[in-house]
C-alpha cells in the first residue's frame, strides 16, 4: 500500500473546502476554517496539518485529485521516498 505524507499549509489554506469535498476521509476543516489531515477517519492527537497515511492506489489517486482541486496549492503530497508528488 502506498504510504503518503500529506501536508496542509495553513498559511495558504483559505478554507475553500474543495479538498474536503473530494477526499472527505482525508481532510476536514477545523475551527479556524483550515483543512487538517485525518488519520483514515480518526483524529488521534487532534487536528494536525501533516500526517503520514497508508492508502490504497485508488485512495492515493483521489488524494492527489483533492490536492489538485485546492485553489491555493495548500495541499502538499510526498511519496514514501520523500519526493514531492504534488504540486510539481
Ligand atoms: S482546498 Fe485548499 S484552501 Fe480549500 S480547504 Fe482544502 S487546503 Fe484549504
How confident is the prediction for the chain on average, in pLDDT? 92
Ligand 1 touching residue 14 (CB < 6 A) = yes
- In this predicted structure, what is the pLDDT of residue 1? 86
**From ligand 1's centre to the CA of 61, what distance in Å?**
17
Ligand 1 touching residue 64 (CB < 6 A) = no
Closest CA to 23 of 57, 56, 64: 64
Ligand 1 touching residue 70 (CB < 6 A) = yes
CATH classification of the domain holding 76: 3.30.70.20
Closest CA to 71 of 5, 7, 3, 13: 13
Identify whether the C-beta of residue 41 lies closer than 8 Å to the C-beta of residue 25. yes
Q: Compute the average pLDDT of residues 20-41.
A: 90
Identify whether the C-beta of residue 20 lies closer than 8 Å to the C-beta of residue 37. no
- In this predicted structure, what is the pLDDT of residue 46? 61
Task: Tell me the H-state helices in 1-88.
Answer: 18-22, 57-68
Tens of pLDDT, residue by residue over 41-76, are 555 666 689 998 889 999 999 999 999 999 999 999
pTM tops 0.85: yes
Domain containing residue 78: 3-86
The strand pair at 35-37 and 27-29 is best described as antiparallel
Report the domain count for the chain: 1
Q: Whose CA is nearest to atom 1 of ligand 1?
A: 70
Amino acid at each position: 500500500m502506498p504510504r503518503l505524507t500529506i501536508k496542509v499549509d495553513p498559511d495558504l489554506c483559505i478554507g475553500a473546502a474543495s479538498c474536503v469535498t473530494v477526499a472527505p476521509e482525508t481532510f476536514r476543516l477545523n475551527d479556524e476554517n483550515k483543512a487538517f489531515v485525518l488519520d483514515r477517519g480518526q483524529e488521534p492527537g487532534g487536528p494536525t496539518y501533516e500526517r503520514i497515511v497508508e492508502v490504497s492506489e485508488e485512495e492515493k489517486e483521489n488524494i492527489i485529485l483533492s490536492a489538485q482541486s485546492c485553489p491555493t496549492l495548500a495541499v502538499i503530497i510526498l511519496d514514501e521516498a520523500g519526493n514531492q508528488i504534488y504540486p510539481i
